[in-house]
Amino acid sequence: MTKKQTIFSAIQPSGELHIGNYLGALKNFVELQDKYDCFFFIADYHSISGEYNPKEKSKQIFDLALDFLAIGLDPQKCTIAVQSQIPEHTELAWIFNTVTPLAELQRMTQFKDKSQNQDQNINMGLLDYPVLQAADILIYKAYGVPVGQDQIQHIELTRKIARFFNNKFGETFPEPKDLITKTPKIMSLIDPTKKMSKSHGKKSCIGINDEPEMIKKKMRKAVSTTEYNEDIYSFYASLLENFGTEKNKKYFLEQFKNKDIKFSELKDALAEDISNHFKDFREKRKELEKDPEKVKNILSEGAEKARVIAKKTMREVKEKVGVIMG
Ligand code: TRP
């Protein structure tokens, strides 16, 4: 039997996931766990480089673990862990700091954007963020990293960091590939020219954990138009495409073709289809929520498993860097 290739990805615990996050990441993770040796992480150390409330963080970590498990990530098939529970990640990030040119970090678009958005808190973590991300990936010598479009630059830098390290200390890290998920962008419920994002408020997103009543309410308030509008039409078309039943797809795509959409009918139908899509997820999540010990155990077992590999890589790295005395 040939060994499966390693996949690494992570999500920051910073609030509820929406259906855009689901299509862009989680849905894909669930499929990958059957084919690869997968590591799916909760990137808590990344998430504290932004503005946040320390009192909410541990619940956000727990909530993301619930989302991972309830959506179908199976700890028998993949490794689920919290980043801060494997201190070797930050240790490796320090070593990577010493081979990463400052200019590489300063030109990252996400760093520039975030510095603008939180101009009172441009901390070192914000700048160093991609180096920790590189450590996350390379410590497991991952072959592939499933990410959205916005992370490509960080994966590119990860490959450079692997090269910088290998050139200086000898061949150690393979260069990981980005596995871009080809999913249509899900747009905001209130502005179909913008991507669905928490930063535009809860009314603009459908949470994967929203109750059916809430989904219906949000859909009813979503954009509509009396004239043909390309953005609005494609917004609804992509929801239908991804969540609609065959019957609804057929029925409403006909309305689309004739440019005569009955929005109130379409919105209620979509609300129902989206609710049904996440029905099992909501039930499983409620069950798990009642058993926090079980969830915490899964996370610490995941960390233990991951740590065996992380420690091994760190030993190799320390030797090559020259900090282990013979
Ligand atoms: N930076 C990623 C994001 O915000 C999260 C992340 C942290 C990550 N470490 C990672 C993604 C390693 C892929 C691989 O989406």
Residue nearest to atom 14 of ligand 1 (CA): 9
Catalytic residue IDs: 114, 195, 198
Q: Is 132 in the pocket of ligand 1 (CB under 6 A)?
A: no
Q: Is 306 in the pocket of ligand 1 (CB under 6 A)?
A: no
pLDDT of 78 strictly over 80: yes
CA 43–ligand 1 middle distance (angstroms): 7
Q: Is 147 in the pocket of ligand 1 (CB under 6 A)?
A: yes
Query: Helix 246-257 crosses helix 263-277 at what angle (to 10 degrees)?
Result: 150
Which atom of ligand 1 approaches the CA of 12 most closely? 5
Per-residue model confidence (pLDDT) at position 1: 58
Mean pLDDT of the chain: 95
CA 229–ligand 1 middle distance (angstroms): 35
Per-residue model confidence (pLDDT) at position 325: 80
Q: Is 12 in the pocket of ligand 1 (CB under 6 A)?
A: yes
CA 213–ligand 1 middle distance (angstroms): 32
Across-strand partners of 79? 39
pLDDT of 219 strictly over 70: yes
For residues 319 and 326, what is the distance between their CA atoms, to the nearest angstrom? 9
pLDDT digits (tens, 9 = 90+) for 108-121: 999 999 999 989 99
Q: Which domains does the chain have, with CATH numbers?
A: 6-184+292-321 (3.40.50.620), 198-281 (no CATH)
pLDDT of 326 strictly over 80: no
CA 149–ligand 1 middle distance (angstroms): 12
For residues 42 and 84, what is the distance between their CA atoms, to the nearest angstrom? 9
DSSP string, 133-198: HHHHHHTTT-SEEEE-GGGHHHHHHHHHHHHHHHHHH-S--PPPEEEE---PPPBPSS-TTSB--G
Q: Is 43 in the pocket of ligand 1 (CB under 6 A)?
A: yes
Residues of the chain above pLDDT 70, percent: 99
pLDDT digits (tens, 9 = 90+) for 250-300: 999 999 888 888 999 999 999 999 999 999 999 999 999 999 999 999 999
Q: Is 82 in the pocket of ligand 1 (CB under 6 A)?
A: no
Which atom of ligand 1 approaches the CA of 25 most closely? 15
Residues of the chain above pLDDT 90, percent: 89
